[in-house]
Structure 1
Amino acid sequence: MDGKVIGYARVSSTGQDYDTQVERLKAAGATKVFNERQSGLDRERPELAKCLDYVREGDTLVVTKLDRLARSAGHLHEIVEGLNAKGVGFRVLDDASLDTTTRTGKLVFGILASIAEFETALRKERQLEGIARAKAEGRTGGRPAMVTSDVKAEIAKLNAGGMSIRKVAAQVGFSKATVQKILAAATAGKT
């Protein structure tokens, strides 16, 4: 089944121009090119989503450089797995080894997928080690509580002295909503 070549071009900033990418993709046989001006770090890239939805079995998705498509080895693996599931090939013009329409390209992607899984496992292991170390040192997650018992006492004292909630909030440096919650909790006997 002969499919179409579909291109995807992306630039990060308004000062950049993707015309060169589009020309190269068309020269490589792309009959349709999706392009967008958006950071590669953005999770939501509407044109990429449209492109991945558009491609059909037998098509080949082509990009000029790998960083135009994926943010990391894991993200690349996720995209290519989706393409493989649809029967869509993938090529990178600036790196001939990244071509899932060839045996060698499939091998390279298999290696990249293994590296991505390894990186994820290492990150998780380091995170768990850090959490265990913090617990051993008596630290728990999250930032330290800012509303201490001293602050609660000061809020109650100022309010009991007839100061408005707005003025109490300005005095202690918290929002009006925070002061209201503290006073409500004190009234309910939760202090």
Structure 2
Amino acid sequence: MAIVGYARVSSAGQDHATQIEKLKAAGATKLFEEKRSGTDKARPELAKCLDYVREGDTLIITKLDRLARSAAHLHEIVEGLNAKGVGFKVLDDPSLDTTTRTGRLVFGILASIAEFETALRRERQMEGIAKAKAEGRTGGRPATVTPEIRAEIARRSGEGESIRKIAAQVGFSKATVQKVLAN
């Protein structure tokens, strides 16, 4: 039954010495530290930490934002820890402690909020897509080669102009002119 600590700062210019001190003072015997943005999905030390912890261990952090990017991400991490039988504590917020009944209740509430946030985001996204479709927008960047330009390229090519000259006249690259002529 080990207490495992995870410390993170966002940039190389920052120092996580204060986090390390707090984690050691709380009894952490194994520490994982990294200097990466919280929005960075590739956090190798966090991955090693989550792989390292075993049933009966407790993962501790100093602040919630050191671990997760969002409530949904936090829920995902804590669910993984729970599945392994690993407890979780946030030192600066004693209510976030899955080793107690109250802490598990708080995480249940956070999980519900995370699911709610995800559902709202998805709902807004679907509304935006439906509105765009109703307005005739199908997604992606608007086409820059209009039917008129296509006709101009075809006409000039039919008259024997070089691709380079056509491209200069219509204001597109040679590659674009070649694609138009290939279709």
Normalising by structure 1, we get a TM-score of 0.87
Q: Per-residue displacement from partner, 1:127-165 (whole Å, max 9, x unpaired)?
A: 222222233333322221122112223333454555554
Quote the Cα distance in structure 2 between the aligned partners of 1:85 and 1:16: 33
| Cα distance, 1:84–1:140 mapped onto 2, change above 3 Å | same
SS in structure 2 of the partner of residue 119 of structure 1: helix
Residue of 57, 60, 63 corresponding to 1:59? 57
Q: Which residue of 1 aligns with 2:87?
A: 89
Supply the AA of the counterpart residue of 1:154.
E
| Cα distance, 1:183–1:89 mapped onto 2, change above 3 Å | same
Quote the sequence identity (%): 79
Q: Which residue of 1 aligns with 2:30?
A: 32
SS in structure 1 of the partner of residue 137 of structure 2: coil
For the pair 1:121 / 2:119, whether they are aligned, the reply is yes
Q: Which residue of 2 aligns with 1:44?
A: 42
SS in structure 2 of the partner of residue 36 of structure 1: strand
Normalising by structure 2, we get a TM-score of 0.90
Alpha-carbon deviation of 1:172?
A: 4.1
Write the mapping of 1:1-16 to structure 2, written as runs, cut at 5 A: 3-16=1-14
For the pair 1:110 / 2:100, whether they are aligned, the reply is no
* Bigger shift: residues 138-147 or 5-14: 138-147
Q: Where does the alignment leave 5 or more consecutive residues of structure 2 unmatched?
A: none
Q: CA RMSD in A?
A: 1.9
Q: Which residue of 2 aligns with 1:130?
A: 128
Q: Which residue of 1 aligns with 2:144?
A: 146
SS in structure 2 of the partner of residue 6 of structure 1: strand
Supply the AA of the counterpart residue of 1:140.
T
Supply the AA of the counterpart residue of 1:83.
L
Supply the AA of the counterpart residue of 1:117.
E
Quote the Cα distance in structure 2 between the aligned partners of 1:164 and 1:88: 69
* Bigger shift: residues 105-114 or 34-43: 34-43
